[in-house]
Amino acid sequence: MKVILKQSVPKVGKEGTVVKVKDGFARNFLFPRGMAVVADKAQTKVLEARNARLESKLADTKAAAAAFAEKLDGKRIRMEVRSGSGQRLFGAVTSQDIADAIKAQLGVEVDKKTVGILQPIKQLGHFAIEIDLHRHVDCKIHLDVVDPIAEEEARKAAEEKGKTVPVAPEPKAAVEEVEVEEEAEPVG
């Protein structure tokens, strides 16, 4: 089924694009959440007129978004959360948590709607997160979800056996590299 996306959907498409998705995904996920409409002739004409208006407005913000993406692209964020057995988290890491961590660690404000995760993260590990800054500009950051208590216990157990366990580095260098202008508004 061809649909027109009303907003950006991670791993599907950007706002205002016509994409082909499975019927069940459209009926059960996209349509109930107001994320898409059926791509018929009338909606396609409306989309073309809307895209023509938006292109002139978005040309100005694209350069600012590209500069913003250069500051964020490839940076590493570390989130310390509590976990239970089997590396499962107590709770979950949401797009709001990631946006807050970016602001705290990199000093850059990002809207939670631009953080591209479909489902909350519920286990420890390393994740590549896509951030949609503009219709034509994306960047990726690396998220390390760790449990500081489990890391400490693993380090102590390894020291007792005479081995060393590598600990993920803190993202201190990234904080010094990012400069944010006071007047700049968040793009998104």
Distance CA 66, CA 97 (A): 24
CATH class of 2-60: alpha beta
Give me the CATH topology for the region 68-177: Ribosomal Protein L9; domain 2 (3.10.430)
**Mean pLDDT throughout 63-76?**
85
Work out the burial of residue 157: count CB atoms within 10 Å of its CB; fewer than 13 is exposed, 13-18 middle, 19 or more buried: exposed
Number of C-beta neighbours around residue 133 at 10 A:
24
Distance CA 101, CA 144 (A): 11
Please give the structure tokens belonging to residue 48.
Answer: 């073309």
Please give the pLDDT value at position 76. 92
Residue 122: CA count within 13 A, CB half-sphere: 4
Please give the pLDDT value at position 167. 55
Please give the pLDDT value at position 163. 63
Q: What is the 3-state secondary structure (H, E, C) of 92-116?
A: EECHHHHHHHHHHHHCCCCCHHHEE
pLDDT of 33 higher than 80: yes
pLDDT of 179 higher than 80: no
**Mean pLDDT throughout 92-118?**
88
Every domain of the chain with CATH number 3.10.430.100 lies at 68-177
Every domain of the chain with CATH number 3.40.5.10 lies at 2-60
Number of C-beta neighbours around residue 106 at 10 A:
21
Please give the structure tokens belonging to residue 62.
Answer: 């694209």
The per-residue pLDDT for range 114-125, each reduced to its tens digit, is 888 878 888 898
Please give the pLDDT value at position 175. 37
Distance CA 167, CA 151 (A): 8
pLDDT of 19 higher than 50: yes
**Mean pLDDT throughout 97-114?**
89
Please give the structure tokens belonging to residue 162.
Answer: 């005479």
On average, the pLDDT of the chain sits at 81
